[in-house]
Structure 1
Amino acid sequence: MTTALEHDFARPWAKRRVRTYAWCAAFTTTIAVGSIIGVGVGLIPMVPATGTIACFLFMTPVFIMFITSWIDTPGEARTKLEKANEFQMLWFCIAGAASELWWEVIWLVGDLMGKMHITQGQRWGWVIWYYGINDVRYLNSDGALWAMELAVVTGAAILLYSWSKLRKAGNDPDKRIRPLWWTFFTMAVMLTVFFIYFIAEARHGFPNFPRHGFWDVSIVLIYENLPWMIAPIVSLPFVAKQLGYLYGRKALEADRASTRAGAVRGTGTPVSTRG
C-alpha cells in the first residue's frame, strides 16, 4: 500500500501571503468599525448608499484573501490539498470570528429582546439597519429567520472550535480527522440554510426584499453573501479528499507497523509488550 502524494498541512504559510491576510483583515476591520462609529456619531449619513459602499469595501478584502490563499510565492510548491487547507483555515476563522459570532449574535439577542425594530433615526443600529432595509425580516422579527440564524451561529462556533483544533493538529491523522468531520457536516448544514434563506423568498417573489435597485441587490444581497456560498462549495470536496488522504495514511502506518511486527516475529526475536 503506497501513498501517491505526501501533503504537509503543518507547513508555515508564506510570509507574503500572511502580510496580505493581515492587511486585508486590518482594512476590513477599519471600514467596519469606522463606519459604525462614523454613522453613530453623525459624521457619516445614515442612508442606504452608506451601507452599499461600506459593504463593498469590507467584503472585497475577503475575496482578495480567498484568491491569495491559492497563489504560491516564488520557489514555493504546495500541493492542491495544501492550498485548499489554507483556504479552509482562512474561511473557518472568517465565518466564525469575523462574521457570525458578532453581527448575527447581536441580531439574535437583540431580536429576542425586541430591540431590532431599528429606524433611520437610531444611528448606532446602522450595522443592522442597512441590511434590514434590504431584507425587512431583520427589522420585523421573523421566527423562521431567527431559527436559520441560530443554526448558522451554532455552525460558526463549531467551525471556530475546529479551526483551533486543526491549528494544533499538525499532520497527525488522529488529531485532524475528528475536527475535519465536524467542519464537513457544519458547512453542509450552513450551505443548506443559505439556500433555504434565498429559495424560501424566491418562492413568493421576494416579498421581504423591497429594494430592487441594482446596487441594493448586487452588493448588499449578493456580493455580501457570496463568500458564504463559495467557500463551503469549494471547501467540502477538499475536506472530503483530505479525510480520504488521512484515512489512507492511518491504514499505511498500520500496515507498516504490522509488517515490522511480522518481521520481528519471523526472526524469532521476542516482541516486547512494554513501552
Structure 2
Amino acid sequence: MLQTGCRFGRAGRSGWIHTSGPEGPAMTTHALHHDFTKPWAKQRVSIYKWCAAITATAAVAVILGVGFGWIPMVPLTGTITCFVFMTPVFVMFATAWFDTPGETRTTLEKANEFSMLWFCIAGAASELWWELIWLVGDLMGWMHINDHQRWGWVIWYYGINDVRYLNSDGPLWAMELTVVIGAAVLLYSWWKLRRAGNDPDKRIRPLWWTFATMAAMLTVFFIYFVAEARHGFPNFPRHGFWDVAIVLIYENLPWMIAPIVSMPFVAKQLGYLYGIKALNAATPANRTTAQPAVAVAAHTN
C-alpha cells in the first residue's frame, strides 16, 4: 500500500509537499501558499472608508434634501446622485487589486479581498436596505409613489426609469426577494469567513454558499433585463442617454461585474482548500515513513 507523507515549509510564499512510497523515491510538489488572514493594507482600508463615507453621505444628504424640499424632486437629481454614490463602488473594486509599496499578495489573496468587499456591498450596502424597503413597501401597497411624495424619492428616482417598481409587478417582486435572501446569505458568509482564518474546514462551507448565491443573483440579473428586452423594454419609458447610461446601466453594473469576477476565484480557492485538506489528512503517515524524495516544480497562483 502506498504511504504518503506531507509537510509544508516556507521559502518566501511557498510550501513543499513530500510524497514517498515503499518502492523508493516519489516526488515533492512546490506549491504557492495563500494567507487569507493577512491584514488589509492601511492605505487600501483608508480608501475603502472614504469611498463608503462618500456613498453614504451622498445618499443620506439627497434623501433628506429632497424630503425637506431643499433639492428638487426631478429625474436629474436621481441621475447625478446615482453617479456620485456608485462611482466610489468602482473605485473600491479597483483598489482591491493593487498592492501597496513593499506588499506582495498572491492573485488569490487579492481576489479574496475583492470578494469580501463585494459581499458587504451586495449585502449591507444595497439589497438589505433599498431592495428590502421596496419589498416590504410593495407588499403593503405603498410603492405607488409620485413626484409629490418627497420622502419616497429614493424609490421614485429609479421607479420612473423602470415603472415596474411603481406599479407592483409580481415577477419583479419574486426576483428582488431572491436577491434579498441572497444578500443575507452573502453577509452571513462574510461573517463566517472573517472568523474562519485559514482553516479549510471552516472556509469551505461558506465559500460554497457564496458561490451558489452569486450564481443565483447573476441569473436574476440577466432575467431582469432579458425579460424586458424580449418585449422591447416596455417598462423602461425614459430613453434619454443619461437615464439609460447612468441609472439603468451604471448603477447595475457592479451586480454583474462582481459575481462574474468573484466566482472563478471562489472556485479556485475551494480547489486550493480541498488540496490542503487532502495534504493534512495524509500528514500522519509522514511520521512513520521517511523516504527520499525528488523535487518537481508545480507552481500555481
- Residue of structure 2 aligned with 1:8, choices 28, 32, 35: 35
Q: Which amino acid is the alignment partner of residue 87 of structure 1?
A: F
Q: 1:254: Cα distance to partner?
A: 1.1
Cα distance in 1 for residues equivalent to 2:186 and 2:35: 21
SS of the residue corresponding to residue 119 of structure 1 reads: coil
Native 8 Å contact 1:3 1:248 kept in 2 = no
Aligned to 1:252: 279
Q: Are 2:263 and 1:236 aligned?
A: yes
Cα distance in 2 for residues equivalent to 1:185 and 1:39: 39
Q: 1:3: Cα distance to partner?
A: 5.5
Q: Which amino acid is the alignment partner of residue 53 of structure 1?
A: I
- Residue of structure 2 aligned with 1:171, choices 189, 198, 213: 198
Q: Are 2:176 and 1:149 aligned?
A: yes
Aligned to 1:61: 88
Q: Which amino acid is the alignment partner of residue 50 of structure 1?
A: T
Aligned to 1:269: none
Cα distance in 1 for residues equivalent to 2:42 and 2:284: 38
Q: 1:263: Cα distance to partner?
A: 3.7
Larger relative strand fraction: 2
Q: 1:242: Cα distance to partner?
A: 0.2
Q: Are 2:125 and 1:124 aligned?
A: no
Cα distance in 1 for residues equivalent to 2:190 and 2:285: 33
Q: Are 2:250 and 1:227 aligned?
A: no
Cα distance in 2 for residues equivalent to 1:168 and 1:152: 24
Aligned to 2:211: 184
Q: Are 2:67 and 1:40 aligned?
A: yes
Aligned to 2:116: 89
Where structure 1 has 5 or more consecutive residues not aligned to the other structure, the ranges are: 265-275
Q: 1:4: Cα distance to partner?
A: 1.1
SS of the residue corresponding to residue 8 of structure 1 reads: coil
Larger relative helix fraction: 1
Q: Which amino acid is the alignment partner of residue 33 of structure 1?
A: V
Distance 1:39 1:3, change over 3 A: farther
Aligned residues: 263
Cα distance in 2 for residues equivalent to 1:222 and 1:46: 21
- Residue of structure 2 aligned with 1:106, choices 109, 133, 152: 133
Q: Which amino acid is the alignment partner of residue 132 of structure 1?
A: G
Instruction: Report Cα offsets for 1:44-76 as digits up to 9, x if no partner.
Output: 000000000000000000000000000000000
TM-score (norm 1): 0.94
Native 8 Å contact 1:184 1:240 kept in 2 = yes
Instruction: Report Cα offsets for 1:99-131 as digits up to 9, x if no partner.
Output: 000000000000000000000000000000000
**Percentage identity across paired residues of the two chains:** 80
Aligned to 2:187: 160
Cα distance in 1 for residues equivalent to 2:87 and 2:244: 16
Cα distance in 2 for residues equivalent to 1:64 and 1:30: 16
Aligned to 2:45: 18
Cα distance in 2 for residues equivalent to 1:13 and 1:110: 38
- Residue of structure 1 aligned with 2:77, choices 40, 50, 73: 50
- Residue of structure 2 aligned with 1:134, choices 151, 157, 161: 161
Aligned-residue RMSD, C-alpha: 0.9
Cα distance in 2 for residues equivalent to 1:107 and 1:15: 36
SS of the residue corresponding to residue 284 of structure 2 reads: helix
Native 8 Å contact 1:10 1:170 kept in 2 = yes
Distance 1:245 1:39, change over 3 A: same
Runs of 4+ in 1 over 3 A off after TM superposition: none
Aligned to 1:272: none
Q: Which amino acid is the alignment partner of residue 135 of structure 1?
A: D
TM-score (norm 2): 0.86
SS of the residue corresponding to residue 218 of structure 1 reads: helix
